[in-house]
Structure 1
Amino acid sequence: MNKILLTCYLVFALFGLTACSGTEPNQIENVQVPPVSVQLWSVKDAIEKDFKGTLKQLADMGFQGVEFAGNYGEFSDNPQGLKEYLNSLGLKASGAHVGFDGLRGEKLTPTLNFLKALEIEMVIVPMDSRAWSPDGVESLVAELTELSTKLAKQGMLIGYHNHDREFDPYQNLTFWDYIAKNTPQNVLLQLDVGWVNFADKDAIEYVKRYAGRTLATHIKIRNYHGPDRTPQQASPIIGEDQYDWASLIKTQAAVGGTRWLVLEQEEYPDGLSSMQAVKKSKLGLDKIISTL
Structure 2
Amino acid sequence: MQISIQLYSVRDALATDFQGALQRLVDLGFSYAEPFNLLQFSEDLVEASAPVPITFPSAHQSFLGDGDFQEVLEAAQAVGVQYLIDPYWEREDWTDAGKVRALSARLNDRAAAAAAYGIRVGYHNHHFEIASRLEGRSALELFAAELDPQVILEVDSYWAAVAGVDVPVLLDALGSRVQLVHLKDGDLSADPGNQLPLGAGAMPLAGTLQAAAGAAYGVIEFDDYAGDIFEGIDTSLAHLRRIL
Q: TM-score w.r.t. structure 2 length?
A: 0.88
Q: CA deviation at 1:287?
A: 2.2
1:47 aligns with 2:8: no
Unaligned stretches of 5+ residues in structure 2 = none
Matched residue of 1:280: which SS?
Answer: helix
Structure 1: distance between partners of 2:189 and 2:90: 19
- Matched residue, 1:20: none
Q: Larger relative CO (CA 8 A, sep 6+): 1 or 2?
A: 1
1:198 aligns with 2:153: no
Once superposed, what is the RMSD of the aligned Cα atoms? 2.5
1:261 aligns with 2:218: yes
Q: Which of 52, 56, 62 lines up with 1:99 in the alignment? A: 62
Larger Rg: 1
Q: What is the total number of aligned residue pairs between the two structures?
A: 240
Q: Which of 108, 112, 117 lines up with 2:78 in the alignment? A: 117
The residue type paired with residue 200 of structure 1 is G
Q: Which of 122, 125, 129 lines up with 2:90 in the alignment? A: 129
Give deviations 1:36-89, integer Å, cap 9, x for gaps: 11111111111111111000001111112110111688x64466x43xx42532
Q: TM-score w.r.t. structure 1 length?
A: 0.74
CA contact (8 A) 1:239 1:288 kept: no
Greater strand fraction, Structure 1 or Structure 2? 2
Q: Which of 25, 28, 33 lines up with 1:58 in the alignment? A: 25
**Structure 1 segments of 4+ aligned residues over 4 angstroms from their partners:** 231-235
Give deviations 1:229-263, integer Å, cap 9, x for gaps: xx69986210112433233223322xxx3111100
CA contact (8 A) 2:193 2:224 kept: no
CA contact (8 A) 2:35 2:60 kept: yes
Matched residue of 2:222: which SS?
Answer: coil
CA contact (8 A) 1:95 1:122 kept: yes
The residue type paired with residue 198 of structure 2 is I
> % of aligned pairs identical?
25
Give deviations 1:141-195, integer Å, cap 9, x for gaps: 1211111111122211110000000012111111011100111121111100000
Structure 2: distance between partners of 1:89 and 1:72: 21
CA contact (8 A) 2:18 2:44 kept: no
Cα distance change of structure 1 residues 78 and 48 upon mapping to structure 2, 3 Å threshold = closer
Structure 1: distance between partners of 2:192 and 2:112: 40
1:218 aligns with 2:185: no
CA contact (8 A) 2:185 2:199 kept: no
- Matched residue, 1:141: 104
Unaligned stretches of 5+ residues in structure 1 = 1-33, 226-230
Structure 1: distance between partners of 2:38 and 2:233: 18
